[in-house]
Structure 1
């Protein structure tokens, strides 16, 4: 995967997560693996659970799931987000990310999508410095 997502790009993704989370109480994670043999939304749900993302106080975790070699991508939010936002909430974010992916710009696509997600989430889950803590790691997780 390092031939597609470099260590420098990984650092940029982690920085984008921190920047996005500064605007919202939402928690953002990125998971990257090579292959996905099932529907990417189904796989994203599996990864979401394995990363214990459902354990945030407001149930407002967001996962960006990427299967590089399978060319699959999904963005999913936890129950708290899904209850608060319209059905097409992630459409613009997905379109932006995928347009960068089509040009081979995986790191840039994720950074743009993460920053967009932070802005979108701010409306429904604004940052509250009195109660917000970083509930999930900002690091990128990698599968096989």
Structure 2
């Protein structure tokens, strides 16, 4: 069951598409009620692999993972983007999301976090207009 209304889902998908417009980077959002591991980062690693996010050409995929009923989440960047962003980038982005999630504002927090990740992806992996393709689906995946 989704914690989002159809309008909220569309807002998140639109945020992904907007964030990806000027970059070769790829962003996915995965949502499930419960986290099947004690550590949401470990679960995000499993989902990242299952969604094939490690197969992007520049290894610049970013996964936003949310287990809404458990109130757990993680942000996972592949090695290409992790090598470029500032050391505290993911932690400060998690802080931003947390500030919205604490009030149940999941769609708003995700949208802003996606926008923030997109800014970094555009800076380090700009769209070249020739060889870049959308390598991963922009929709939200659910379990």
Task: Give the TM-score normalised by structure 1.
Answer: 0.93
How many residues are paired up?
Answer: 142
C-alpha deviation, 1:134, in angstroms: 0.3
1:27-46 deviations in Å (ceiling 9; x for gaps): 00000000113201100000
C-alpha deviation, 1:92, in angstroms: 2.2
C-alpha deviation, 1:130, in angstroms: 1.3
Distance, in Å, in 2 between the alignment partners of 1:85 and 1:73 is 20
What is the aligned partner in structure 2 of residue 7 from structure 1? 6
Task: Give the TM-score normalised by structure 2.
Answer: 0.94
Distance, in Å, in 2 between the alignment partners of 1:87 and 1:45 is 19
What is the aligned partner in structure 2 of residue 75 from structure 1? 75
What is the aligned partner in structure 2 of residue 45 from structure 1? 45
Alpha-carbon RMSD across the aligned residues, in angstroms, is 1.1
Structure 2: segments with no counterpart, 5+ residues: none
1:11-55 deviations in Å (ceiling 9; x for gaps): 111110000001221100000000113201100000000001111
1:70-99 deviations in Å (ceiling 9; x for gaps): 110100111211222333221222111111
